[in-house]
Amino acid sequence: MAFNKEDQEHIKDFLDEMDLSGKSQRTIDGYRGYFKAISQIIAEDYPGLVNMKKNDLRALVKALKKSGLQPSSIQVHIGALSSFYTFLENEDLIELNLITAYKVRKMLPKIDHTAKEMERDFLEPHEFEAYMQACYRTRNYIRNQMILLILISPGGPRRKELRGILVENLQRGKGRILLQDTKGGKPRFIYPTPRAWDKIDEHLKITGKTRGNLVGLSYIGIYSIVLSIKEKILPEDFETREQYDILMAKNIHPHRFRASACTWLRRDKVSSRTIMKMFGWKNRKMIERYDTVIQEDVDDEIGDYFKKTNGNGAEVIK
């Protein structure tokens, strides 16, 4: 069902406020999409967003779960609603942010970072190429391809780190980009491929930027772009329909590119110490969390072992 008239007016005011504060159109459209999704599943007898009680919000969370959204997507939708309530609170239309007041975040499903989830949602190289191909079906495809290539770069930046990249921190001569706005607060580098550098150069030529933010998108804007690119992927981008169906079943968001970058480096025999340094990790447990080992990896490694040892370990124990 649609929101009532009062809610629609408040949402319009909220989105207008985002526009006036300088939020990108993609970010605003992202929020509009979240509200549309919520309006389609909210109970018919809901009392209005301003008058929601704890049981109403609990019912909304339950409906979001039933809709098939991943835990991370549910959190994003509730996060959008929380931002809306903060706006209403600042406008003195409600006394407190209802998401905070009723401790709604404690009702949300936890995001599972188990190895099983990482394996399911890991990007294979041919799947990444499908993303790159799909960019040609989007607006600003050069910028979008640049974003994907930076996300998958050795050192895989987080969304916060990606949006904080400055043009003046591009160190082309050394083949690296300085990240200053990092999770741990300690600067580090990522190492884009030549292909990524080409897209960066194209993007800079189009935008004319010589200083300032490279990407020019918000935290949610980057998330929305990755989701929108996936929607443009077609079966003909793959050799088989099965490959397409496998990718469509995966929950791919920006952080999955970081996990994939880690796995690709491990497959290419990059040392764990180097991987730790690039990704800003303090111990090997993080590598174990992000590095995905699938059955094909086991098959390949044991095959290499048998070729080296003739299957009996003779070369190892000499």
CA distances from 228 to 8, 30, 135, 187 (A): 25, 10, 9, 30
Angle at 119 between CA 114 and CA 125, to 5 degrees: 145
Q: What is the pLDDT along the chain (318 residues), one digit of tens a residue?
A: 578 999 999 999 999 998 888 888 878 988 999 999 899 888 888 898 989 899 989 899 888 888 878 787 888 899 899 999 999 988 888 888 888 888 888 888 776 544 444 455 789 999 999 999 999 999 999 999 999 999 999 998 988 899 999 999 999 999 999 998 887 778 999 999 999 999 999 999 999 999 999 998 887 889 889 989 999 999 999 999 899 998 988 888 888 899 899 889 988 888 989 988 988 888 887 787 777 666 666 666 666 666 665 544 444 443
Residue 201, number of CB atoms within 10 A of its CB: 14
Q: Name the residue among 79, 259, 302, 229 with its Cα closest to residue 155.
A: 259
Q: Which domain holds residue 202?
A: 118-298
Q: Which of 52, 85, 111 is the last residue of a domain?
A: 111
Are residues 101 and 9 part of one domain?
yes
As a whole number of angstroms, the distance between CA 125 and CA 151 comes to 13
318 lies in a domain? Answer: no
Are residues 273 and 163 part of one domain?
yes
Domain count, the chain: 2
Q: Which of 82, 111, 140 is the last residue of a domain?
A: 111
What residue type is 47 in one-letter code? P
Are residues 157 and 90 part of one domain?
no
Are residues 256 and 142 part of one domain?
yes
